[in-house]
Amino acid sequence: MTRSLSRTQATALSLLCLAIGLGGCSGGDFGRARPDVRSDDMHRWIGVEATGSVGLPASQFQLTDNERQLRDLAYPLIEPPHSRPAKRTVVGDYKPMPSPWREKVVFDRTAYGKLLLDEPHRSHASRYAQLMDDVRNDLTRFDSFFPVADRVISLDRKRHASLKYISELSPAERTDATARMEENALIVQWVQQCLHQRVSSYRWALERLVVHAPDGAAADADRLIKQLAAQASNVVIATPPVPGRVLSTRG
């Protein structure tokens, strides 16, 4: 009986080890996200997509800390605005997006509002609250993004000015430096254009809410949207004079 019990325990232990091993493989290290899903340069594709969409090459230089932060902070602002269900998953919803300069990209200003109206809510007040939360979040995100963008572009202006003084600068280095400056400038323009689009989406949603369920909260929501519109319109970051096309920041 003792021998039989030992065999049973050994089998159970083997199955337990196998289950733990498979669990680690499927979800990363015991529940943590896999390195191929989340990494330091997980948003590097933003610059590559921006330059590629206008027919320009991407830089082969490694990202600086500031450039990496610029891309990390840009992603939540270029992601299409929508009300966010409680059960959303970070990894499951993450995906690269085409830049607004792709010919087939069509901006739908009604998408956010339709989702806001269609999602189940306890009352119309929660829809107004959701709208205002989303606008506030964008204001907070842009407050974080702007100083980083200003810092990156300021350093790129210095980089551009220094190119003529660098000794033995190879053609490849000049090409990559120029490409990186173009990437950074396009990312800033991408965010600015998306802010204009978000303002348009939020205004459409607020108009529908006023029609469906008028409420005094509409005035507060309108003030927040105007604040976001002012940021999108009045904040101008002078980009360095690098080759490439001039792109509008308005959607």
What tokens were used for 246?
A: 């001039």
pLDDT at 69 over 50: yes
Residue 206 predicted with pLDDT over 70:
yes
How sure is the predictor about 101, in pLDDT bands with cuts at 50, 70 and 90?
Answer: confident
- Per-domain residue ranges of the chain: 1-32, 40-234
Q: How confident is the model at residue 248 (pLDDT cuts 50, 70, 90)?
A: very low
Query: With 90 as the cut, is the pLDDT of residue 16 above it?
Result: no
**How many CB atoms are located within 10 Å of the residue 113 CB?**
24
Question: For residue 176, what pLDDT is reported?
Answer: 96
From residue 163, give the alpha-carbon distance in Å to each of 21, 132, 168, 176, 189: 52, 46, 10, 12, 24
Res. 166: pLDDT tops 90: yes
Question: What pLDDT, on a 0 to 100 scale, did the predictor assign at position 159?
Answer: 95
Average pLDDT, integer, range 86-107:
69
CB 161 within 8 A of CB 216: no
> Does the reported pTM lie above 0.95?
no
Work out the widest C-alpha separation in the chain, in whole angstroms: 85
Q: Is the pLDDT of residue 209 over 90?
A: yes
Q: List Cα–Cα distances, 90 to 35, 36, 84, 191, in angstroms.
A: 14, 14, 11, 21
If you average pLDDT over residues 178-196, what whole number do you get?
93
The residue written with tokens 């096309």 in the block is: 245
Give the rounded percent of residues in the chain with a pLDDT score beyond 90: 59
pLDDT surpassing 90 at residue 203: yes
Structure-token pair, residue 206: 């607020």
Q: Of the candidates 146, 139, 174, 172, which has an alpha carbon nearest to the alpha carbon of residue 160? A: 174
